[in-house]
Amino acid sequence: MRRLSVVSLFVFAMIELSYGTTTNRDAMMTVVTEKLGLTFYTASELTVIAKCCEPQFYKTPNNNTAVLSTAKSCILNNSGNKAVQALSLYSNANNCLSPDSLDSVVTALVPPIQNLTATLVKKIKKTLADCKSTNTQAAAAKQETCIQKTYGIAKAAITLTYVDDTCKKVVNRNVSKGWWACGLKYIPSVLTFSKYACSKIVKA
Ligand SMILES: *[C@@H]1O[C@H](CO)[C@@H](O)[C@H](O)[C@H]1NC(C)=O
Ligand SMILES: *[C@@H]1O[C@H](CO)[C@@H](O)[C@H](O)[C@H]1NC(C)=O
Ligand SMILES: *[C@@H]1O[C@H](CO)[C@@H](O)[C@H](O)[C@H]1NC(C)=O
Ligand SMILES: *[C@@H]1O[C@H](CO)[C@@H](O)[C@H](O)[C@H]1NC(C)=O
């Protein structure tokens, strides 16, 4: 018994050492900033926003309305010193897109994006559903474990190529010339868009 716990402690320590204390959530946010080129938020700022969104996603993964509205409120609530910048960007984008708005454009683009990312989203939701039905930890620990598993899937699948391919399809098929002009004007304020072949698309 004693021997066993010494052995498990050792194994546990080795696992801790090899993974450090980096969670899949942390790793995901690093992917978003370093690989995908998001510049508006740092990885640690994104972590705060992500943690704010997680309870809703965990509770109602299939209710897009609820998840998107929580995400929007989490972004606005947790932009801290960037709130002014975020709001001004939001209002500039709205002016540019007028008579449409950023909300209406996002709403219009969600279905085609969902269609293109359906396989990955299904895999993520299945991972979450399986974990919810089998994990026996207490509520808070269970949510954390299950959310971490979903980040594990997401961080492996969401590469620059994956995002770029999705972007190209949506822009070619579902973005109007006017929307695209605004996109090209404002997207570089939040990410290094030049990393993406998608940014080179010219709308006739
Ligand atoms: C989804 O969430 C919205 C907003 O919270 C809520 O009004 C709606 O009833 C929910 N839909 C379903 C099918 O539960
Ligand atoms: C955002 O802040 C408002 C006002 O403090 C609060 O009512 C709301 O619940 C917060 N949203 C989230 C998702 O935490
Ligand atoms: C995506 O759209 C295509 C045609 O536009 C349709 O055939 C296909 O079933 C859709 N896939 C999903 C997963 O919604
Ligand atoms: C997006 O484009 C596809 C392919 O052209 C089309 O089938 C689909 O209806 C469009 N979706 C929206 C919401 O415009």
- Distance from the Cα of residue 187 to its chain's centroid: 16
List pLDDT tens digits, range 34-69. 999 999 999 999 999 999 999 999 999 999 889 989
Mutate to test the pocket of ligand 3, among 114, 115, 117 (most ligand atoms within 8 A of CB): 115
Token code pair at residue 87: 């709001």
List pLDDT tens digits, range 153-201. 999 999 999 999 999 999 999 999 999 999 999 999 999 999 999 999 9
Type of residue at 2: R
Q: Atom 9 of ligand 3 has which residue's CA nearest to it?
A: 115
Which residues neighbour 85 within 8 Å (Cβ) at sequence distance 6 or greater? 40, 79
List pLDDT tens digits, range 98-127. 999 998 999 899 899 999 999 999 999 999
Nearest of 16, 31, 17 to residue 161 by alpha carbon: 31
Give 21 Cα–ligand 4 centroid separation in angstroms: 43
Give 193 Cα–ligand 3 centroid separation in angstroms: 27
Hey, where are the domains in the chain?
3-194
Type of residue at 169: K
Compute φ and ψ for 38, nearest 5 degrees. -65, 130
